[in-house]
Amino acid sequence: MRDFALHRPASVSAATAAFAGTDGEAAYLAGGHTLIPAMKSRLRMPDALVDLTGLGLSGISRDGDRLWIGATTRHADVATGATAIPGLACLAAGIGDAQVRNRGTLGGSLANNDPAADYPAAALALDAVIETDRGSHTADDFFQGMFTTALAESEIITRVGFAIPQQSSYAKFRHPASRYAMVGVYVARHAGGWRVAVTGAGPGVFRWTDAEAALNAGTDTAGLVLAADDLNSDIHASAEYRAHLCGVMLKQALATLA
């Protein structure tokens, strides 16, 4: 890891100014569980880090039919504080290990958009609104592929509003070493219908529209098969195996609801 400047701003405007004022590459630092390992291995070599943890962007509150969670809220706090959405709280409790949950942040995970991360599935299934210093994005438009989002250069997530469902649950088959999802399925029943999101299986999180249609029609999902054509295939699992896991995780998530 080479030398870099560290900025600890006290406001969002100061953070964006520090980012823009860097002579070279700048990066935002939240929990650091992706950025720091990348810097150690020299996959990322920013000239400056802008620490977001002092901006007052943490906390959980309910406003009407949405649960709002600040971007720098730790996974451990979501696990204990997101009581209005038990499925989301359980998802947060299953992220990584205790060290990861006590440092990693909601906003950092969403901004990074790892294709095997858990929160993107929750954001899609819970019809989330991602607010930033420049506006807002719907979850359906926010995730744009592997490690790619709708965020513009230097844009900062400030808070995320999850629609409070009638029921929701998340089931994942985790990698035994990394604890990332080889496949994770989040199901949510809203007044307007079901939303089902899949993470880990493909190059990015996506909605499983066939599962949504079956649930909305009240038909049996036991024989539902996800096409393996566009799914990941690597040393950990083939695309066909991941397709099979999607059905298994869907069944487990629905069984938890029942």
**For the domain that residue 32 is a member of, what is the CATH number?**
3.30.43.10
CATH number for the domain spanning 195: value is 3.30.390.50
CATH number for the domain spanning 130: value is 3.30.465.10
What mean pLDDT value characterizes the chain? Answer: 95
Are residues 188 and 234 located together in one domain of the fold? Answer: yes
Give the mean pLDDT of 125-146: 97
Are residues 174 and 111 located together in one domain of the fold? Answer: no
Of 163, 195, 226, which residue is a domain's last?
163
Are residues 12 and 64 located together in one domain of the fold? Answer: no
Are residues 85 and 113 located together in one domain of the fold? Answer: yes
Are residues 157 and 176 located together in one domain of the fold? Answer: no
Q: What is the pLDDT of residues 149-165, one digit of tens each?
A: 999 999 999 999 999 99
User: Hey, is 175 helix, strand or coil?
Assistant: coil
Q: Is 258 a residue whose pLDDT tops 80? A: no
Give the mean pLDDT of 97-102: 93
Are residues 27 and 83 located together in one domain of the fold? Answer: no
Are residues 188 and 227 located together in one domain of the fold? Answer: yes
Q: What is the pLDDT of residues 225-237, one digit of tens each?
A: 899 999 999 999 9
Are residues 22 and 90 located together in one domain of the fold? Answer: no
Give the mean pLDDT of 93-109: 94
Q: What is the pLDDT of residues 108-133, one digit of tens each?
A: 999 999 999 999 999 999 999 999 99
Are residues 95 and 187 located together in one domain of the fold? Answer: no
Are residues 159 and 171 located together in one domain of the fold? Answer: no
Q: What is the pLDDT of residues 181-216, one digit of tens each?
A: 999 999 999 999 999 999 999 999 999 999 999 999
Residue ranges making up the domain that contains 212: 167-257
Tell me the H-state helices in 41-145.
Answer: 75-81, 86-93, 98-101, 106-112, 119-125, 139-142
Write down the pLDDT at residue 179: 81
Are residues 134 and 225 located together in one domain of the fold? Answer: no
- Note whether 150 and 141 are within 8 A (CB): yes
Of 138, 163, 188, which residue is a domain's last?
163
Q: Is 55 a residue whose pLDDT tops 80? A: yes
Instruction: Give the distance, in angstroms, between the CA of residue 248 and the centroid of all CA atoms in the same chain.
Output: 21
Give the mean pLDDT of 71-85: 98
Cα angle 90, 96, 101; round to 5: 70
DSSP E strand boundaries for the chain: 5-7, 26-29, 48-51, 60-63, 66-70, 129-132, 135-138, 157-163, 167-174, 181-190, 193-199, 206-207
Write down the pLDDT at residue 73: 98
Q: Is 176 a residue whose pLDDT tops 90? A: no
Write down the pLDDT at residue 214: 97
* Structural domain count of the chain: 3
Q: Is 177 a residue whose pLDDT tops 90? A: no
Are residues 158 and 73 located together in one domain of the fold? Answer: yes
